[in-house]
Structure 1
Amino acid sequence: MKKFVWMISLLTALSASLVNAAGGYKIELEPAQNNLQDQDSLQRGAVHFANYCMACHSVKYMRYNRVARDLGWTDEEVLAKMAYGQNKVVDIIQTRMLPETGLAVLGVEPPDLSLMARLKGTDYIYTFLRSYYEDDKGNWNNHALPGTSMPNVLESLQRQMSEEEFAQTTRDIANFMEYVGEPAQLKRLDLGWKVIAFLLFLLLLTYLLKREYWRDIKH
């Protein structure tokens, strides 16, 4: 028994050390509570992403026409809301920043955000966007990622909005980024309940068929 307890303690300590070695989050993450089936939220998130994130970041695995089809826009609407008429509807969603500008200005190339939600999770994105603060020198820093090169691009919105409005805005952005990470998830969520309903119907049909087969057989 003592040996078993000792092994459990060792495994727990080893797991904790591996988590720390991998680089855990600096603060407790806030739950984003986003909803991929909220189309209005996805549309708002797409517009906010275009206005405040695409200056530096791209989502190169998405095209404007795919976003339009999934979020309920026409081709003309998605170009007006996200590209301001500067792109074709079949174009991939690229940053507006010129090549190497990010490295020269920020000291690092801003990453593509196509898979960021799958890599970090929506809770991290939501918390990160809400965790900026000014340090003693008046520079922007972030509790979730100390030393980040990314400025507080939502500062103007945060000053103008109430706490609830700003929380919803960051939730909308996280929602859109989760959609971008796995666009097929929208159809999968819609199809899931239909598959479950079919399987339940099939189960009922199988049960009734079994009763019919065994009705005249004496046990």
Structure 2
Amino acid sequence: MPYGIVSAAPAYNIKLEKVNNNLRDLDSLQRGASLFTNYCMACHSVQYMRYNRIARDLGWTDEQAVEVMSFNQAKPVDYVLTRMDPGVSEQLFGIEAPDLSLLTRVKGNDYIYTFIRGYYEEEEGKWNNKVLTGTSMPNVLEGLKRHATEEEFDQATTDLVNFLDYVGEPSKVERWDLGWKVILFLLLLLTLTYLLKREYWKDIKH
């Protein structure tokens, strides 16, 4: 994922692609978690998430989450941390690979979606990105894109962003659902209060 992107100001002048991810789609979230494991965790962490929390929210058992995301190298209560040793990122790329826990909340889903799809080859073996020129992050999805159909690649990148969106605010769906319940309760309370007011004041002349 984009190195330095969390602290960098937007440096692009392009129209962002719309991702249209769905946090209620558990299959998409599970695929996104697997993609994150295979393409991102070599460098990046989501240090505020535990494997057992991901398992609970994505419909896995603790054992499934640990198997899929750590290849049975972690415990369910462990945080989801990069497999890269400290200092290696600076040696390879000149910058520490950032934690991605809050990336979508900082940059937005469409930005991340456009970024991971925005690589282009300037010359053989040298890649740049139309969203963040000069990014230190290599084109980690190059192989996936080469061997997938356009539809499959679209789905994969959507799934990946969907998972990062979930990681950024794991309780977002619960908050949405609770919000509607609160609004309905307040509307009911308002109605009852209005009817009670009319009953109290009906015999009072103005």
Query: What is the TM-score normalised by the length of structure 2?
Result: 0.89
Counterpart Cα distance in 2 of 1:137 and 1:77: 40
Output aligned runs, 1:116-135, within 5 Å: 116-135=103-122
AA partner of residue 45 (structure 1): G
| CA 187–106 in structure 1, closer or farther in 2 if over 3 Å, else same | same
Match of 1:206 among 193, 198, 201: 193
Q: Give the structure 1 partner of residue 133 of structure 2.
A: 146
2-structure distance, mates of 1:119, 1:161: 30
Name which structure has the greater RCO, CA cutoff 8 Å, separation 6+: 2
Partner of 1:8: none
Quote how far apart the aligned CAs of 1:23 are: 4.7
State the 1:201 CA deviation. 1.3
State the 1:47 CA deviation: 1.2
Which has the higher mean CA deviation after the structures are superposed, 61-70 or 158-167?
158-167
Specify the alignment match of 1:97 in structure 2.
84
1:179 aligns with 166
Partner of 2:33: 46
With 209-218 and 64-73 compared, the bigger mean Cα shift is at: 209-218
Q: Deviations over 1:9-32 (max 9, x none)?
A: xxxxxxxxxxxxx55324221122
* CA distance in structure 1 between the partners assigned to 2:10 and 2:31 by the alignment: 32
Aligned-pair identity (%)? 64
Give the helix-richer structure, 1 or 2: 1
- Per-residue CA distance 1:38-85 (angstroms, 9 max, x = gap): 222222111111111001101111111111122222111111111111
Instruction: Answer with 40-49 or 88-97: which moved more.
Output: 40-49
Q: TM-score with structure 1 length normalisation?
A: 0.84
Tell me, what secondary structure is at the counterpart of 1:25? coil
Query: Which moves more between the two structures, 186-195 or 125-134?
Result: 186-195
Moved more, 204-213 or 49-58: 204-213
Structure 1 distance, partners of 2:13, 2:96, is 23
Whole-angstrom CA distance in 2 between matches of 1:181 and 1:203: 34
**Residues 167-196 of structure 1: CA deviation (Å, up to 9, x unaligned):** 121111111112211222232112111111
CA separation of 1:112/1:200 partners in 2, compared to 1, >3 Å: closer, same or farther? same
- Number of equivalences: 198
8 Å CA contact 2:113–2:161 kept in 1: the answer is: yes
Q: Contact between 1:26 and 1:145, CA under 8 Å: does it hold in 2?
A: no
* Structure 1 segments unaligned to the other structure (5+ residues): 1-21
Task: Please provide the CA RMSD for this pair.
Answer: 1.6
User: The residue matched to 1:135 in structure 2 has which SS?
Assistant: strand
Q: Alpha-carbon deviation of 1:88?
A: 0.4
d(CA) in 1 for partners of 2:72, 2:123 = 42
